Structures are given as structure tokens and as C-alpha cells.
A and B are shown apart, each in its own frame.
Chain A
Amino acid sequence: MPILQVEHLKKYFPVPNGILHAVDDVSFTLDAGKTLGVVGESGCGKSTLGKTILRLTDPTAGRVVFEGKDVASLHAKEFHRLRPDMQMIFQDPYASLDPRLTVRKLIAEPMEIYKTQPSKAALEKRVDELMDTVSLASRFANSYPHELDGGRRQRIGIARALALNPKLIVCDEPVSALDVSIQAQVLNLLQDLQKDLGLTYIFVTHDMSVVKHISDDIIVMYLGQIVEKAPAKELFRQHWHPYTKALLSAIPIPSLHNRPNRVIMQGELSSPINPPDCCRFAGRCAYCTEACKSGKTPPLSEVAPGHFVACHRVREIQDIPAESACAERGAPNGSPCHEAV
């Protein structure tokens, strides 16, 4: 039974020189207790997607159905009742905590707003419990955020998100501000909490190794659209979309052995403002043809059970390495032939 259904979700922002398509027709479903990883580069719309799902910003079109209720169409009062079920962990533990509140106050705040605890004593007790849950020593209860390091601050953010017993948590780059040795601690904590409390996560990140580790399913976004969607293990075993291939091969591997063949993508993310109707990756794609540049946006099609790819040429190009695709089109040996639009 899916806890969340996202249907044709769009979020556009009017900007001085046009319409910025931050999220453009994104659909997926997410089962309770699972983790959906959302990956992509800066500007691909992954954070906006997370915020729109939680209705921190209203969608331009499309539906977000959480436990059977269309989140966007709820009235303020009804939505207020739903909010405790859907929480968020923010990226920057330095910017997302009020510097003038103590740790105890910060964690108590959501419960005070929602009046979930009958008495002051119960509130205090619940704060202690939460600090224990996220492994924050009680000696920090009266400290201010600036006195703590990034890892501990992020634990406060997690405790705040947990305070109202949510069902769904959107984690927006929760570990990217942390050092690797601390990052591993926080990732383990998030996994333990999921197991113990039956949480559902949407995990937004640009870090492919983190997303592989924590997700059940992964969607790869490019300029506001999903280009590939698959179970996590499957995606890393077999990826079809030329963007996913380039993205995965660009990750520096911390080992001297089994180094992957690198596909260096030319150019940079093109503009999300008034994007063309055609495939948005066409300008950077080694396999792009005239048809890709003039046709419609390719729809997501199922290439293997549960594995969806949005590419016109997905079947033809699977076995052609990027270099030979470029060579075929007359580029000198080894040099990429594609350029940014």
C-alpha cells in the first residue's frame, strides 16, 4: 500500500526572463517503510521536489496524495492536522536551527506548537527521550547550537523532525555538510530509526554512494524531470540512460583497483528557464540524433521490471560505448563530440 503518490507534479517559478521549470511532470509512488533516493546535480529540481511534496511551496500542477489525501487541495486547518505526519530534515545544520534557542527548546518547539504533551513534565520527558533516540548526550540539553559541531547539530535537526512521530520524512542532503567519519554515524542513525519507527524516507542527495547505501528505489533527475527510475541495486548494476551512465562514471572511486571507464560529459546543465520541448539532455548526450533534438520529451518506458528510462534511443544504445558513439559521428578518436546547447 503506497503511503505517497506523486502524480504529474509540476513546480514552475516565474523569473524575469521566462518560466523556470524546477519540477516538470514528476510521478512516482512510495510504499510505507521504504526509502526513495532522489539524485541529480545542483539545479535539477531535487530539493524543490522535496519541498513541493511537503507543501512548503505550492505545486503549479499535479497531485501529491499522502495516505489517500490530496495534500495540495487541503484547507489550511486540515493541512495543519496533517503536517505532523510529514516532516523534513534540512541540509545545513548551521542555518536551520534558531541560534537563540537551547537544544532542549529547539527539540520541544514542534511539540509546543502542536500541544502534543499534556504537561510540562511530560514534555521534558519526551525531549529527553528524543535526545536519547538520536544519541545526543543529555549534558548538551542547555547548550546553544553554536557550541556544537555539525554532526551533533544535525542530530538536533533529526530529533526535531521526529518529535511529532511523523510517517514520512524528506531528508534534504542531511549528511552533505558532515565529515565522512561523522556522516557514517548519522546514516546509521537514520537507518536504525527507520527500522524502529517504521519511517518512510525521501532522501535527496547529490552523493551517489550515500544514495546507493540508503535507498530502496532511486530516481535520477535532470532539469526537473525523471530520466531514470529503478531499484537501487539494479540501478548500479545496470544503468541505461546516457546521463545516469555519465553521472555514475564521474564519481571518483576511493580505490586504486577496478577503476571504471570514464564518460566525461561535455558542457554544463543547460538552463531550466523556458526549456525546449525535446529531450532536455540532448545537448550533452553522446548518442543524440536529430530526432532527439526535434522530437518531444521522451516518456519513461519500462526496460526491465521496475526499471524505467526516459530516452528515445534506450534500446539501440545500450551496448555502444560513448566514445564509439562520438567516433561514429565523426569526432576525432577519444574526444567527445557533444556540446552544450
Chain B
Amino acid sequence: MENSQNVPVVKVDDLVIHYETRDGVVEAVNGVSFTINKADTFGLVGETGAGKTTIALAMLGLLPYPPTHIIRGSVEIGGHDIEKMSPAQLQKVRGKKVSMIFQDPMTALNPVIPIGDQIAEVVMLHEKVSKAEAEKRALEMLQMVGIRPERYKEFPHALSGGMKQRVVIAIALACNPELLIADEPTTALDVTIQAQVLDMIKELRDKFGTALMLITHDFGLVAEICNKCAVVYAGEIVEMGTVEDIFDRPQHPYTIGLFESIPSLDKDTERLKPVKGQIIDPTDLPPYCSFYDRCDHCTEECRKGDPSLVEVGPGHFVKCMYAKKEGN
């Protein structure tokens, strides 16, 4: 049993993605690699424009071409490279093996189809079942996400934001996928509703044994449900490891800066320590460390080359010239 928990569900290897725009080439993802195992809840943390959502869309083969160009790298789902799949094969992966919860539940649902039918639709698409059986499954899913079965025939507009997100989650989990990608699933929700939805995601994840990738800007959510975590800056993973690595022994100046700029609830701080400067322009990345301009610890050395991701402890990677081996 122990072994099956460490089976990789998804392997992303050296992924490089560019968008071609009128203002130049946006280097959105620059050599990202990670693996998500069956038992993992993997947090992908970063700020606006870091490339988090692009990575997720690439994992589902959903990036529009053009303007997107996958320059190199691969995404393997269950051992199969999705680049090599035909559109029909991809169709079978999406929703069945990997599904996604989008940020905005208001726009993720079809406004003119009853919510129950939207769940049944996925089931019918992926499994050879009759309409009645699919509807039965949809009813079960609705109950599982805490919506009364009487509401099966209601339209999305009759539901609150939290309820809509529950429906989206029901759709995502209806075919028992191996990996669920949740892209800022609670950002549009109030904090008390967020707590409810998060609890439900946790419960369902454990029940279905689904691996989870959580995309967020909120370290609070990561602490809440993840066991592994990667911090993304300018399309690169700057630090990756277990949540203990990231929260208790962060090394990258950006990770540390992010933690310091969050006002604390249990300590009284007079003044916050923001990360200086602005988020870097992804059309104009330097050949050296892309955090250089905002870093308080940078030296001339940092301009000489782009540091690589170094393993500083077992499974803990840091992309910085000055990364130190743990325990020294």
C-alpha cells in the first residue's frame, strides 16, 4: 500500500512556455519541473503573473496555440506524454484522469443548464452509463458536496458563490480523477465560506484518494491542506520542498520576503517588510537571476549567471546563488 502512494500521477519536466504578443515574447514559464505523487497535495504559490495558471493549463493541454508556444519540456500524466496525444485522447484525460476547479465559480458553470445536468454530463461523457445512472451519480455528488438533492434542477444563478463552487467541485470529482487541479478555488469566496469549501475539498480528497494540486497566492491555504509546496517567481520555481521546508526553513529571499510581507495575526508588528520594487516584466527577463532587482541580498556574483535549483536537503530545492546545505 505504502508503495502505491508514491506512484507519480503527474510529471512535469523542464517546461518552457512563451506567449507571443504584439509587445514581445512573454516568457511565462521558464524550465519548471515537478512531480506529484498519488498521496500528495501540492501547493503552487506565487503572485499575479508568476505563471501558475499557465502551468496548470499546460498540464491539461488547454493552452491556445497561437499565441502560446510550448518551447520545450513535457507533461506526463500516468506515464503518457500529453504532447503526443490526439485531441480525442486528450478529451478522455480531461475530466477523467485530471480535472480542474477554476477560480471563478460564477463563470465556470453554464448559466442555461440545471446544475445537476452539468454534473451528469461529465459522467455520461466519460463512462458508459445510461442517462438515469448518470443522473443518479450526479445526485450523489450533489449530496456529497452538501447541496440538497431538491436543488438538482436549479440553475447556477439561483446559487450563492460558495454553492456554485461546490457544484464545480462536484463536476470535477464526478469521474473520480487521479489528479485534481484547484486554481485559486476559494479566492472569490468569503473567509467563512472559504473555510467550509476547504474542509470539503480536504474531506473529498481523502475519501476519493485524489492527488491535489492547489494553485494559490495564500500561504495560509497551503499550511491548511498541502504537504508539498513550490514557490514560483517569473515562471520559475525558486523554492520547492515539503511544507516544513518552506514554512520552517525557507531559504530563497523571495519566499522569505513573501512571509514577511503578510501582516501577522499573532504578533504585533509596527511596520511591514515588503519585497521592494515591482513584479518583473515577463517580456524582459534578464539572463541572470530574475529576482536580482528585488533582492536585498544580491551581489555582483548574482549578475554573472542564472542559478540552478540546488537540493539543500532531502527534497528541498532552492534556486539561489547563496543557497546553503541544510544542517551546516
Contact = CB atoms under 8 A, between A and B. Distances in A.
Interface string B42-57: 0000011000000000
A236 B265 contact: yes
Nearest to B196: A264
Given A41-B192, A264-B196, A254 B259 contact: yes
Interface string B34-46: 0000000000000
Interface stretch (A22-30, A126-134, A204-212, A313-321): A204-212
Interface stretch (B110-118, B136-144, B176-184, B269-277): B269-277
A101 interface: no
A180 B192 contact: no
A208 B191 contact: yes
B266 A262 contact: no
Instruction: Count chain A CB atoms within 10 A of each CB in B192, B220, B243, B266 and give the residue with the most.
Output: B192
B19 interface: no
Interface string B267-289: 01101111110110000000000
B278 A152 contact: yes
A14 interface: no
Contact of B273 (A184, A264, A265): A184
A213 interface: yes
Contact of A268 (B162, B269, B271): B162
A209 B261 CA distance: 11
Contact of B263 (A181, A212, A250): A212
B3 interface: no
A254 B265 CA distance: 10
A255 interface: yes
A290 interface: no
A247 to B, nearest CB: 6
Given A254-B259, A258-B266, A179 B191 contact: no
Given A41-B190, A256-B247, A188 B272 contact: yes
Contacts of B223: 252-256, 259
B243 A256 contact: yes
Contacts of A259: 223
Contacts of B222: 254
A238 interface: no
Contacts of A212: 263, 265
Instruction: Count chain A CB atoms within 10 A of each CB in B48, B195, B273 and give the residue with the most.
Output: B195
Contacts of A42: 190
Given A149-B279, A152-B278, A181 B257 contact: yes
A191 B278 CA distance: 20
Given A252-B221, A256-B243, A187 B278 contact: no
Contacts of B261: 180-181, 183-184
A181 B258 contact: yes
Given A180-B258, A258-B266, A246 B272 contact: no
Contacts of B83: none
Nearest to B275: A181
B244 A185 contact: no
Interface residues of A, number: 44
Contacts, number: 120
Contacts of A291: none
A182 interface: yes
A45 interface: no
The range of chain B's interface size is: 35 or more
Contacts of B160: 268
Contacts of A255: 223, 247
A187 B272 contact: yes
Interface string A209-239: 1101110000000000000000001001000
Nearest to A251: B191
B125 interface: no
Nearest to B162: A268
A93 interface: no
Given A180-B217, A252-B220, A254-B220, A213 B191 contact: no
Contact of A187 (B196, B260, B263): B263
A290 to B, nearest CB: 24
Given A179-B217, A256-B244, A250 B195 contact: yes
B248 A256 contact: yes
B194 interface: yes
A265 B199 CA distance: 11
A258 to B, nearest CB: 7
Interface of B: 47-48, 160, 162-163, 190-196, 198-199, 217-224, 243-244, 247-248, 257-266, 268-269, 271-276, 278-279
Interface of A: 41-42, 149-152, 179-185, 187-188, 191, 206, 208-210, 212-214, 233, 236, 246-256, 258-259, 262, 264-266, 268-269
10 contacts: A180-B258, A182-B47, A184-B273, A184-B274, A209-B263, A213-B263, A254-B262, A255-B223, A256-B247, A256-B248
Given A41-B192, A264-B199, 7 more contacts: A179-B47, A184-B260, A209-B265, A214-B263, A256-B223, A256-B244, A266-B196
Closest 10 CB pairs of A and B: A252-B220, A184-B274, A254-B219, A184-B261, A213-B263, A181-B275, A250-B195, A179-B47, A41-B190, A184-B272
